[in-house]
Structure formats: structure tokens, C-alpha cells
Amino acid sequence: MPDTPREPPTDWQTHLPFDPDPGIAHRARIGVVTLASDHTIEYDFRWLLDLPGVAFYVARIPNSPQVTTESLAAMEHDMAHTASLILPGVPLSAMVYGCSSATMVLGEETVFARLREGRGDIPPTTPITAAFAAFRAFGAKRIALLTPYVRSVNQPVVDYVTGGGFDVPVIASYDSGDDNIACNIPPETMRKDATALGLRDDVDAVFISCTSLRAAEIVADVEQATGKPATASNHALAWHALRLSGIEDRIEGRGSLFTL
């Protein structure tokens, strides 16, 4: 039997009074442009940015999961439009572009210009921008790099880091050219390999590059094992976005960077 038709309500109550509260992002509202192929940044940010009054908002940029210098550079075309999709007309405290290798292929200033084109003059950061800020905060000069990239992508990464005024005594890679594979490298494997790099005498700090890697959760373990500072793309990026937003909270259990 069909449902008996219901009479429409006759008592319409409108304009109910309320007092707006500051909202879930009353301390910081962070915009994040991440890759269509990224598996990890949102997972990491939910943990790293777990602070009352802090929220992040994501738009995904079209990209190929095959990581080449050409596919990385191609994202510039869609960057401004993707940034414009994040809470249009609502103030943001920081704007993040979530790709380490693409930033180093395009250059930070190009990325910043595209983000501002799409979303206005909001303090911008990228994984390598954040990593450089972290290295300076650590007082580190000689950086060991751990990446998932193939050699043709690793070389621009080394060139960019050295061009930023740091030395790269060693780079180690899993030689994967696919985001859908990089995201499945076990954290325990990266912990072992990053620790081995950090124990070298010619290294001051360790940086694990790539937002798809599940590396944020192992940073504190690497530091404990090596006695040296460490960070990773999502790890540094979340920290720098907080600092750009004026959030100076010390957060325990996230590695030494979050307690500086």
C-alpha cells in the first residue's frame, strides 16, 4: 500500500533567533591545495593539526599519479583555479600547496604567484618552503634526503635544496615514479632507512620528501634513534601553516619541530 499523503505543515516558524559563535576555525583557517593523486596529506593533517579552533579546508588539483618533471610542471595551469575553490570570500590564515617535488620543479615564487592569483594575498607555503624554515629553526646545514622519486626527479630536488643554502651529503630513494605506490611504502621501512641516514656523521638533520609518504608518524622515532632533528613534507607543512597562522602552541608527541 502506498503511504498516505501527509498534510503540509501549517505552522511555519522562521527567523529563529541565534547568536553566532566563532566557528570551528576561530583560531586558524588553513587552505590546502593537494593533488588528486595524494593519499596521505589529509590523514596526516588531521593528526598534526588536532588543535581546538584550528581547521583546514582542501581542494584537489588535477594531476597524473606518474611523477615526472613534465607532469609536475603541468599542475601550474590549474593551480590558481583550484585555490579559488577553497571557501571563496572567507578569510584564510594560510594557504598550502601540497606537493614537494612540483614546487621544486616550478619554483616557490611561481607557486606563490599562482596561489595568490586564485585566492588573494594569503600567507603561502609549500613542503620545501616549510622544510627550509624547519632546517633554519633546527640550525641544521647538512641535510640527508629520503625520497620515493626516480633519479630524474631527485636531481632537481638536490639542486633546489643546495640552491637554498643547504648541503646534501646523501640522498636515498625508493625509485618509485607512481604516487599510488609511494603511499604504500611502510612507515617502518622509512623509519629504518631515515634512521640509517641520520646516524651518519656528515648529517645534521633528515628530511623525508613527498606528501604521499606516511612519514609524519615516524619523525619522533627517527629523532629518538639518531639524536638529530628530522621532519617530513606533511610534518613540516602542517607546522609552518600553524606558524604562518600565528599559532605558536607546543604540541608534544609530534617531534621536536612542534615543541620549538
pLDDT of res. 7: 75
Write out residues in the chain with pLDDT < 70, as ranges. Answer: 1-3
Backbone φ and ψ for 165, nearest 5 degrees, come out as: 100, 15
Q: CA 109: distance to chain centroid?
A: 17
pLDDT of res. 1: 55
Element (H, E) at 180: helix 179-182
Task: Tell me if residue 248 falls in helix, strand or coil.
Answer: coil
How many angstroms separate the CA atoms of 136 and 225, rounded?
22
> How confident is the model over 74-123, as pLDDT tens digits?
999 999 999 999 999 999 999 999 999 999 999 999 999 999 999 999 99
> How confident is the model over 220-237, as pLDDT tens digits?
999 999 999 999 999 999
Rg (CA), the chain: 21
pLDDT of res. 71: 94
**pTM metric for this prediction:** 0.93
Neighbours of 102 (CB within 10 A): 28
Cell numbers found for residue 187: 612507515
pLDDT of res. 88: 96
Residue 35 neighbours by CB under 8 Å, 6+ apart: 60, 61, 63, 75, 98, 99, 179, 211, 212
Domains of the chain: 28-126+238-254 (3.40.50.12500), 129-234 (3.40.50.1860)
